């Protein structure tokens, strides 16, 4: 082969390569154009329309958000100005005045309760904690002798108790934590009746749920330790159809309410549940006389029967009252001796 033919072959091969490359580029461009102008489905079309509308209304949405913020600010301002009844939560928290009164739940009766009653006591303690956090005059809350079944139940069912605030949870007995002269044990067996609360004192509530089986236990403990004891003035203000047995949280809430109102009767009737059938003592005589008079007017036989029933209820022997109390006993956890 001559030297003149070699360059000619090289040139033809280069031309062929260029043609192949140009053909490939044209095909790829055609594919891109086909992909670009490929028909879309109705669903995709709707999405595109919505996206376009959303972008067009962006400024309108901004304006609406601004107006909403301004409206909320005005509403909050109006509430603060017209909030004379204390409905605004932030305003209430600013009005909180902490009491120096110490209120102790004595959990040293753990071994005397079954698990069912332990769980009830736990729920009552939770209620006390919640009420104290919400109160306008919260007390210095103590939980003493904390351990045993109660602590185990709280660890299993309420792990958040370790993060509770404004409460002193101690494994020690209250007698080891507070001076004896400052202590007053609240028990219905005490002959002493509270007239008012001394906020320099520490009041002890027996954390015992026993459905009134352990009578006189809290009074005995107070006497053994040589500390003062007293009962709430329940009988001076309230007459109840059921037994005068109150749950731990009821006693706790009554004290919180009294600290706010300084009125025992209002405190009792704010807290006591309706099922207790509580009525003010100064109205019981009036209501009974009114019932007797109306019964006489309605008819002789009915009048006689109602009077006989009234006298029978008034003269019930003690053992009959105890029998009726047992029948009316509820499964609710109660404060021992209240």
According to the model, what pLDDT value does residue 24 have?
A: 59
3-state secondary structure of 205: strand
Q: What is the mean pLDDT of residues 24-51?
A: 69
Output the six-digit token pair for 83.
């909030």
According to the model, what pLDDT value does residue 90 have?
A: 47
12/10 Cα distance (integer angstroms): 6
Least confident of 25-39, 162-176, 193-207, 247-261: 25-39
For residues 236 and 195, the answer to whether their CB atoms sit within 8 Å is no
Strand partners of residue 121: none
Output the six-digit token pair for 293.
């008079």
Q: Is the pLDDT of residue 70 over 90?
A: no
According to the model, what pLDDT value does residue 23 have?
A: 63
Residue in 106, 110, 117, 210 annotated catalytic: 210
pLDDT digits (tens, 9 = 90+) for 84-116: 555 544 444 557 899 999 999 999 999 999 999
In 3D space, the residue among 132, 104, 100 whose CA is nearest the CA of residue 200 turns out to be: 100
pLDDT digits (tens, 9 = 90+) for 176-230: 999 999 999 999 889 999 999 999 999 999 999 877 677 888 999 999 999 999 9
According to the model, what pLDDT value does residue 37 have?
A: 53
User: In degrees rounded to 5, what are phi and psi of residue 38?
Assistant: -70, 135
Share of the chain above pLDDT 70, in %: 64
According to the model, what pLDDT value does residue 96 have?
A: 87
Q: DSSP string of 254-285?
A: HHHHHHHH--HHHHHHHHS-GGG--EEHHHHH
Q: Is the pLDDT of residue 2 over 90?
A: no
In this prediction, residue 306 has a pLDDT band, given cuts at 50, 70 and 90, of very low
Tell me, yes or no, if 210 is annotated catalytic.
yes
3-state secondary structure of 132: helix
pLDDT digits (tens, 9 = 90+) for 166-191: 999 999 999 999 999 999 999 988 99
In this prediction, residue 21 has a pLDDT band, given cuts at 50, 70 and 90, of low
In 3D space, the residue among 330, 337, 310 whose CA is nearest the CA of residue 117 turns out to be: 330
């Amino acid at each position: 082969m001559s030297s003149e033919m070699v360059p000619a072959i090289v040139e033809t091969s280069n031309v062929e390569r260029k043609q192949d490359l140009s053909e490939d580029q044209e095909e790829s461009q055609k594919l891109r154009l086909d992909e670009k102008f490929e028909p879309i489905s109705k669903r995709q079309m709707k999405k595109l329309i919505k996206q376009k509308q959303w972008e067009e209304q962006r400024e309108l949405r901004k304006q609406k958000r601004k107006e909403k913020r301004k409206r909320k600010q005005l509403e909050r301002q109006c509430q603060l100005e017209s909030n004379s009844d204390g409905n605004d939560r932030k305003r209430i928290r600013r009005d909180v005045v902490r009491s120096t009164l110490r209120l102790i739940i004595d959990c040293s009766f753990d071994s005397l309760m079954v698990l069912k009653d332990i769980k009830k006591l736990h729920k009552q303690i939770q209620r006390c904690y919640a009420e104290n956090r919400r109160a306008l005059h919260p007390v210095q809350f103590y939980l003493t002798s904390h351990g045993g079944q109660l602590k185990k139940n709280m660890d299993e069912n309420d792990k958040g108790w370790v993060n509770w605030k404004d409460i002193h949870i101690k494994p020690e007995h209250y007698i080891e934590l507070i001076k004896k002269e400052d202590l007053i044990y609240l028990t219905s067996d005490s002959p002493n009746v509270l007239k008012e609360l001394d906020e320099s004192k520490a009041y002890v509530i027996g954390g015992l749920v026993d459905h009134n089986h352990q009578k006189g236990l809290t009074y005995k403990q107070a006497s053994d330790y040589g500390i003062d004891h007293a009962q709430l003035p329940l009988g001076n203000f309230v007459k109840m159809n059921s037994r005068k047995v109150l749950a731990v949280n009821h006693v706790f809430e009554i004290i919180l309410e009294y600290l706010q109102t300084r009125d025992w009767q209002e405190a009792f009737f704010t807290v006591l549940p309706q099922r207790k059938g509580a009525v003010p003592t100064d109205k019981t005589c009036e209501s009974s006389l009114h019932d007797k008079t109306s019964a006489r007017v309605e008819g002789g036989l009915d009048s006689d029967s109602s009077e006989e029933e009234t006298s029978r209820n008034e003269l019930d022997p003690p053992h009959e009252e105890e029998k009726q109390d047992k029948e009316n006993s509820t499964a609710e956890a109660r404060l021992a001796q209240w």
